[in-house]
Amino acid sequence: MIFSSLIFLYLFLPICLVAYLVARPIKVKNAVLIILSLAFYAWGEPTRIIFLLLSAVVNYFVGVGIGFFKKEKYQKLCLICGLIFNIGMIGVFKYSGFIMRNINAIFSADLPVPDIVVMAGISFYTFQVISYIVDCYWGKVQPQKNFFKLLLYVCLFPQLIAGPIVRYETIAAEIDNRKTTLNDFSQGLTRFVVGLAKKVILADQLYRIVEDFLGGSVNSLTVAGSWYGVILYSLYIYFDFSGYSDIAIGLGRIFGFHFNENFDHPYLCKDITEFWQRWHISLGSFFRDYLLPVTFFGKRNKYLSLFLVWLCTGIWHGANWNYIIWGLYYGMFILLETFIGKKRMNKIPLVIRHIYSKLVIIIGFGIFYFEDIGKLGTFLKNLTPFNPNGWGGFFEQASLTSNLFLIIAAIICTFPLMKAFGKLAEKNDTARAVISVSGTLVCVCLLAFSSILLVDSTTNAFLYWRF
């Protein structure tokens, strides 16, 4: 089941809200969320729930073990066992086929390549439980002794499939003590509708154009067609992923949970370091907090740590070489900006910094798109004047003309519009009332328009569900 479907919007979610509101004690509310979250995850593929439950059980006992033992060596042993299990789960389900294909290619072998379906959301919920057991070991959180409370943290359906990666410490108190105020419900519902509109009205429509240009033969793309396609892909991936995050944060708010932000208008960045402080914040903070402290031969080396972080960032996104190249590509620019230093970077004219950062980001998403390395090489060549197909043609012009309003709307929506309206609402009661009424009407229209688009469309799953 996906959020951008009529079944979820008009069947599953209403049932969930009614059942949750009817339940009174917090224990019953938690039980309702667990049951509905497991049903949500098992929808269409019931067997995968076994591995989610297995992950919850193993990490529950790892946490309990860390809390039970007083000697550090036993606590460390529990942690190591937990890490081996969690990383092993991702390795088997996500990377075993990739590893075997490369072994066959390198050694000219003919070993069987496992055809294992990637478990939806496995990278997200596995990273959550890794953060939980590491934080238990570091003493940042107390191990949860109630299995069902930990299970709620692991399987909570708003952020189960595609994040944000929620730390246990973020919602530990709210598992036992939370309530949904009218303001929470209103803001959560607004955030949900905005996220849905990002996905259905902007991302899905942009993706159709992207597929027209990048989804076919890249050999025939002109320079303009290549840039046009990858720029729209950069917009698509932002609205698709940030749309999911908005939906997750909004749903969490409705149920009394306050998740951290995952995006902060990343295309306003002035350099690549700032971009990754605004893009997929929960993943970036995970690697910063859990990988940067890693020592090499007993000493910390920030350059080796940066290499490890960006290698893992690429690997995390998928079992293909283009993702590894993509991670190291960004790592190279982060390293370059580290060498230059923040003070020197700030002295560079703002216009140049914006142009530099957007070019790096756009080309980076081109690397992200093409899993076939041969096609990727052709695409990168097509971005340059060495493209044998020329600079442009009628196809690009016709597409731009017919989709101009969509593209302009998408560009405008990369700016912090909601923050701007929020600041206006703070000025006086009249402005607050006008913006409140107008915002409600806009949300109703967005929900109606999104629903209409979903009626006759083949729903596209959120891109990050496969990660």
Q: In this predicted structure, which of 73-77, 134-138, 156-160, 357-361 has the lowest mean pLDDT? A: 156-160
Per-residue confidence band for 448, with pLDDT thresholds at 50, 70 and 90: very high
Catalytic residue among 258, 280, 317, 354: 317
- Encoded tokens for 18: 């009614």
Per-residue confidence band for 422, with pLDDT thresholds at 50, 70 and 90: confident
Contact between 288 and 309 (Cβ < 8 Å): yes
Instruction: Give the closest residue to 166 by CA, choosing from 119, 120, 118, 126.
Output: 126
Burial of 132 (0-12, 13-18, 19+ CB in 10 A): buried
More confident: 442 or 462: 442
Give the Cα separation of 153 and 172 in Å (integer).
8
What is the model's pLDDT at position 402? 93
- Encoded tokens for 256: 């009394």
- Residue 108, phi then psi, degrees to nearest 5: 50, 40
Max mean pLDDT range (158-162, 251-255, 438-442) = 251-255
Contact between 359 and 365 (Cβ < 8 Å): no
* DSSP code at position 390: -
What is the model's pLDDT at position 461? 62
Question: DSSP of 404-432, one letter per residue?
Answer: HHHHHHHHHTTS-HHHHHHHHHTT-HHHH
In the annotation, is 317 catalytic?
yes
- Residue 103, phi then psi, degrees to nearest 5: -60, -45
What is the model's pLDDT at position 460? 64
Over the stretch 361-392, which tens digit does the pLDDT of each residue have? 999 999 999 999 999 999 999 999 998 888 88
Mean pLDDT of the chain: 89
- Rounding to the nearest 10 degrees, give the CA dihedral for residues 144, 147, 150, 152: -150
Give the Cα separation of 90 and 96 in Å (integer).
9
What is the model's pLDDT at position 462? 62
Contact between 467 and 460 (Cβ < 8 Å): no
What is the model's pLDDT at position 466? 56
- Encoded tokens for 187: 């803001």
* Residue 178, CA distances (Å) to 18, 105, 148, 276, 391 in order: 17, 54, 16, 32, 58
Over the stretch 170-194, which tens digit does the pLDDT of each residue have? 999 999 998 888 888 989 999 999 9
Per-residue confidence band for 424, with pLDDT thresholds at 50, 70 and 90: confident
Contact between 281 and 313 (Cβ < 8 Å): no
What is the model's pLDDT at position 464? 54
Res. 58: pLDDT tops 90: yes
Contact between 39 and 283 (Cβ < 8 Å): no
Rounded to whole angstroms, the maximal C-alpha distance in the chain is 73
- Any bridge partners for residue 296, and if so which? 299
First to last CA, the chain: 16
